[in-house]
Amino acid sequence: MRLSKIDPRTPPEPSRPRRAVAASASPTPSRRVFLLSATAAAAAVAAGLVPRLVRPAQADDARRASAPEQFEVAYSDAEWRKRLTPGQYEILRQEGTERPYSSPLNDEHRAGTFACAGCALPLFSSRTKFDSHTGWPSFWTPLAHAVGTRSDTTFGMVRTEVHCRRCGGHLGHVFDDGPKPTGLRYCMNGLAMTFNPQAA
């Protein structure tokens, strides 16, 4: 019989793995998809589609970093220190924050205008002031062309910083929990402003 020719003590010859044979014969679908995707991505880069999606944001960031804001009223740091009290300097030029309920302007209820303590630009009308119960003078809108804003990411938060449009002095922050009609709360440091009462 043929079976008698096989020695049972001899182990069978190992068979070649089928996957290895299949891989060497032709590309698998996953490899084909990968090659097509890589080719498409390379074509998109060559055509300029990807740079158009990425470059504007990078260019804007670089432009902002290299070109600081220019203000109509600008003094050296030494000059600002001469013109302002230590408290005003800390807030307006170093973006500090006064203690809540420490400013007399929080309790100012007369008719008049709140102006920048750095350059005297009128910032807010008393008609837009309200009691936010936060301890800082609060307004639901500034006067036209009075303030500027920028993103503030200090202390691990994303806030909107408010500064004087003319001298760049830091005033405070604006939040979206204010009253109607704007729904905004311009939370200002009293030391950053002066008050000019309205003539009777």
* Beta strand 159-164 pairing with 147-152: antiparallel
First to last CA, the chain: 128
> Which structure tokens are listed for 198?
């309205």
Q: Which of 118, 172, 116, 167 is closest to 143 using CA atoms? A: 116
Q: Which amino acid is at 45?
A: V
Catalytic residue (one of 116, 119, 167, 187)? 187
> Helices 49-66 and 29-47: crossing angle, nearest 10°?
50
Instruction: For 56-93, give one letter per residue: b (16+ CB within 10 A) or e.
Output: eeeeeeeeeeeeeeebeeebeeeebeeebeebbbbbbb
Distance in angstroms (rounded) separating the CA atoms of residues 44 and 50:
6
Catalytic residue check, 187: yes
Catalytic center residues: 187
